[in-house]
Amino acid sequence: MAEMKDVFGQQPHPVEDDLYKEPMRKRRKSDRDQRFRAFPSVEQSALKEYEKLESRTRRVLSNTYQKLIQSVFLDDSIPNGVKYLINRLLVLIEKPTVDPIYIGLFGSTGAGKSSLINAIIQQAMFLPVSGESICTSCIVQVSSGCCAQYEAKIHLLSDQEWREELKNLTKLLHRTEELGREEADAWNRDEAVEEATWKLQMIYGNGAESKNYEELLRAKPKRKIPTSRVITLKAEEAEELSIKLDPYIRTQRRDWDGEATEMHIWPLIKHVEVTLPKSDLIPEGVVLVDIPGTGDFNSKRDEMWKKTIDKCSVIWVISDIERVSGGRAHEDLLNESIKACQRGFCRDVALVVTKADKLHLPEYLRERKAGNQAIQSQREAVLERNEMIKLQRTRILKEKLKRKLPADFKVLEASDLVYTVSAQEYWQQALLTEEETEIPKLREYVRKRLLDKKRRTVTKYVTEAFGLLLLTDSFSSTQNLPNEHLHMSVLRRFAEEKVELLEKAIGHCFACMEQPLQEGVRTARTSYRCILRACLVRSKGNQGFHQTLKAVCLKNGIYASRTLARIDLNEALTQPIYDQIDPVFGSIFRTGKPTGSALMPHIDAFKHSLQEKMTEIGIRSGWKYDSCKKNFLIQEISAILGGLEDHILRRKRRVYESLTASVQSDLKLCYEEAAQITGKKACERMKDAIRRGVDRQVAEGMFERAQERMQHQFQQLKTGIVEKVKGSITTMLTLASSQGDGLYKELADVGSEYKEMEKLHRSLREVAENARLRKGMQEFLLRASPSKAGPPGTSL
């Protein structure tokens, strides 16, 4: 093999550099136990068993690795098969325990995201909160870890990233002519102008807004910027870190004239990572992410905003109880979250209704339908209202999800799609019990999510390790079975035939997109003028919109503000296409029963057919005397295709976003032309330039090109899948059949490690069964326990 790749399609560690690398040390037992403090005792027991399984597996792999290293240490050349094996061992030894679960709290200004995080982590004022105004000014990630102190890392824009934004900010503020009083007033009221002025003043001081780009490059910031572009804060107590962190992440009012130097670098902050010491409430491995609702004018921050949404496996759409029944901002948040299910890793979306204790009782009683049971207290009214909101919003959300996602998408089966929470009542409990605030319910959801992921990850890890030990143990045997090459040739031909069938099946899956794409393009062509008109019209006409529109053009059709709804002309123009393709796109990348359009079930069927053929050939050829070979092949094919699934998930974002990327690329010159327009009636002339540019591109086939580019992305994905499968299976079969071909040498005896690994693999079922028994007992005890009464003093 001239070039080896591991089963995940990645280059293995270079043997010359990393072959003799020392594997990472295992975690101390006391540290492992501390990680489970956030879990009840029943769940702790299950986690400790899975942790023990994983730890023992890593120890077996490490021992095997050391033995192999010692057996080849003095060799001038190492056979390719041994290189492959050693690299695979090292990759598994250093594989992370569990990839973090990112839970995105996605909401508009004043929705209560920070208050909710504070309640979940049991720190009342840890993140800044302030009613209806913007408080958290950037993406903030909160997690717990093994650190002894509270710690925050404030990541700043690089020098190049800030220069790019500075150039756009000065372009936005540049005037080429004197304006009349009315025009000047409109300019100053423009939201984009206010935002740009504020940012420059925060960094360079008053008057910075009147300077040009070159002058500001030479200007000295009000505060020294660290060359590392990272500011680290540490504290012994949560309150101490909160005080230190507050000036960096709290958005101050524009009329604020304080002297806190930390605030001067706010426009440079990209994101903040906060790590808590070992927590009794939030388990290690869970990251709560406070995500602003609209993105950011800075390209890097806006790109990070989207990537952060896409890497979240869970998204909680946060809306306070007075806004949940409507409004464009709420709908935009839901739509963006559903798109994350299509293009990202998100598998669960829920609506979290905050401030659920707020209710004006006389008004509620007047509007309440007659005939219901009489309300005896404010508490009863709140609970009844919250239950009604749950039922109503669950129905609406399910209908919305069904229109966009395949019918068997897992989120549609969720028992809880809507939560009604109250952070204020969680602390006060004057009206609601702790359980009725539903903060504990969210914590329980987080724990169950992590426990389930731990179970699946450890099961996969132990199974993959077992397959690798099977291979290692078989290398120690030099016995060649009769007709070995003949049987492997049969298996190779069978695999080649199945790969061809898989390629056709993938092509058939992707061909399902053709009709909805065509229908979407037809709809987009007939509706784009209405969509564009809606995007460019404001309720107050052009007043205060001139420079905002210029900002849209400077950023190639996108403007993200912390106070206005996000503007994305490219996305709006392609929305009719997405409306047509979303259900089919979701069906292609779903898991479940094999259907004509689902991709992963075809890959699973391919895997099972190969495994069945391996078993059949093994029985006929006498592999019953060499079960290691058969079991290795079966386990290895699972590892290969498991890695393939991760590759597909990473690539589907590029496929999904190819429509908007194509339209944005085609309209780039149009945006640049409009951004250069100044003078009288500039706003209307910019709109005309955009309309003409879009008309011209549509006439020249803009939507058809977008369709072709998406189909090209699907074709590239298909080619990549097939090439990875072919290459990995060829490598696997070569390894399995090459004993006696000079590729291997006699290795150290790893029989004891293999036997221990075999025991660990068998114990997976026992651990799972123990977990089920404990869960059943816990549920029985909960049903038998009396329910909690409401807090005292809650009657009318």
Q: Is the pLDDT of residue 284 over 70?
A: yes
Contacts of 261 (CB under 8 A, 6+ apart): 222, 223
Q: Identify the weakest region by mean pLDDT among 61-70, 288-297, 586-595.
A: 586-595
Contact 317, 323 (CB under 8 A): no
Q: Is the pLDDT of residue 9 over 50?
A: no
Averaged pLDDT for residues 508-520 = 94
Domain 99-156+228-252+261-367+375-436 fold: Rossmann fold (3.40.50)
Run of H or E residues at 340: helix 328-343
Half-sphere exposure of 33 (CA within 13 A, CB side): 4
288-333 pLDDT, tens digit each: 999 887 777 777 788 888 889 989 999 999 998 888 876 677 788 8
Question: How far is Cα of residue 753 from the mean position of the Cα atoms in its chain?
Answer: 37
The percent helix, strand, coil of the chain (3-state, each to 5) is 60, 10, 30
What does each C-alpha distance from 632 to 80, 463, 465 come to in angstroms?
A: 18, 10, 10
Rounded CA gap, 767 and 126, in Å?
38
Q: Using CA of residue 272, residue 277, residue 279, residue 283, what is the dihedral sign?
A: positive
Q: Which is more confidently placed, 200 or 481?
A: 200
Dihedrals phi, psi of 56, to nearest 5 degrees: -65, -35
Classified as helix, coil or strand, 111 is: coil
Residue 776's CB is within 10 A of a number of other CB atoms, namely 11
Q: Which is more confidently placed, 21 or 537?
A: 537
Q: Is the pLDDT of residue 743 over 50?
A: no
The identity of residue 564, as a single letter, is L
Q: Which two tokens stand for residue 117?
A: 């995080």
Run of H or E residues at 320: strand 314-320
Cα angle: 436, vertex 437, 442; to 5 degrees: 105
Contact 581, 520 (CB under 8 A): yes
Contact 173, 193 (CB under 8 A): yes
| pLDDT confidence bin for 741, thresholds 50/70/90 | very low
Rounded CA gap, 661 and 655, in Å?
10
Q: What is the DSSP letter of 278?
A: S
Class of residue 708 by CB neighbours under 10 A (exposed 0-12, middle 13-18, buried 19+) = middle
Q: Is the pLDDT of residue 131 over 70?
A: no
The mean pLDDT value of the chain amounts to: 82
Pick the closest to residue 468 from 61, 3, 30, 53 (CA basis): 61
Percent of the chain with pLDDT over 70: 80
Strand spans (E) along 116-176: 139-144, 150-156
Run of H or E residues at 347: none
| pLDDT confidence bin for 786, thresholds 50/70/90 | low
Contact 57, 461 (CB under 8 A): yes
Q: What is the pLDDT of residue 74?
A: 67
The identity of residue 507, as a single letter, is G
Q: Identify the weakest region by mean pLDDT among 266-270, 295-299, 548-552, 600-604.
A: 295-299
Rounded CA gap, 387 and 97, in Å?
39
Classified as helix, coil or strand, 711 is: helix
Averaged pLDDT for residues 84-92 = 85
Averaged pLDDT for residues 579-603 = 79
The number of residues making up the chain comes to: 796
Rounded CA gap, 100 and 330, in Å?
28
DSSP 496-529: HHHHHHHHHHHHHHHHTTHHHHHHHHHHHHHHHH
Domain positions in the chain are 99-156+228-252+261-367+375-436, 157-175+189-227, 481-733
Classified as helix, coil or strand, 542 is: coil
What does each C-alpha distance from 79 to 22, 364, 716, 746 come to in angstroms?
A: 21, 78, 34, 11
468-490 pLDDT, tens digit each: 887 777 666 555 555 666 777 88
17-64 pLDDT, tens digit each: 444 444 544 455 555 556 677 787 778 888 888 889 999 999 999 999
| pLDDT confidence bin for 544, thresholds 50/70/90 | low
pTM of the full predicted structure?
0.85
Contact 296, 305 (CB under 8 A): yes
Cα angle: 221, vertex 223, 225; to 5 degrees: 85
Q: What is the pLDDT of residue 325?
A: 74
Q: Is the pLDDT of residue 676 over 80?
A: yes
Q: What is the pLDDT of residue 630?
A: 65
Pick the closest to residue 767 from 56, 50, 39 (CA basis): 50
201-259 pLDDT, tens digit each: 989 999 999 999 999 999 999 888 899 999 999 999 999 999 999 888 876 555 445 44
Q: Which is more confidently placed, 262 or 328?
A: 328
Contact 63, 749 (CB under 8 A): no
Contact 763, 56 (CB under 8 A): no
Averaged pLDDT for residues 434-462 = 91
What does each C-alpha distance from 69 to 12, 386, 478, 674 come to in angstroms?
A: 16, 63, 20, 64
Averaged pLDDT for residues 411-417 = 83
Averaged pLDDT for residues 777-795 = 59
Q: What is the pLDDT of residue 745?
A: 54
